[in-house]
Amino acid sequence: MRRVTKAGSFGFTLLEVLLALAILGMIMAQVVPKYGSAILSSNKQVQQANQLRIEGAVELYRLDTGSFPSRLEDLLTLPPEVHGWRGPYLDKLPTQPDGRSYTLDSQGRVGI
């Protein structure tokens, strides 16, 4: 609702501005949590996909060499004194969405 002021200019009343801000606040209260949840879900999916990819490379390494790699870097470059290596098994080591590295235990299990 625009009203003519004494000087003849148009403007919004304080009530109209506050109402618009309240509506905007209610919309943001609905959108922001869903956005945060979508990001967390996406990060978890990326983490799981990376983990499966590394586990597959570890299994190929094991099939070729007869043992698990002692470290993840062995999937990229030929480690010394390893026979049957046909890598590289990965083009590069993926990192977790938060930037941390994955780990590998002696049984070939990939850790977060």
Specify if 5 maps to a domain. Answer: no
Q: Are 102 and 112 in contact (CB under 8 A)?
A: yes
Whole-number pLDDT of residue 22: 93
Where residue 39 sits, what CATH number does that domain have? 3.30.700.10
Whole-number pLDDT of residue 106: 83
| Encoded tokens for 16 | 């109209």
Looking at the structure of the chain, the number of domains it has is: 1
Residue 111 belongs to what H/E stretch?
Answer: strand 110-111
- Summarised one tens digit per residue, pLDDT across range 13-39 is 989 999 999 999 988 888 888 777 888
Whole-number pLDDT of residue 6: 62
Q: Provide CB contacts within 8 A for 28, sequence distance 6+.
A: none
Put simply, whether the predicted model's pTM sits higher than 0.85 gets the answer: no
CA angle 48, 110, 42 (to 5 degrees): 15
Q: What is the residue range of 104's domain?
A: 15-111
DSSP β-bridge partners for residue 103: 111
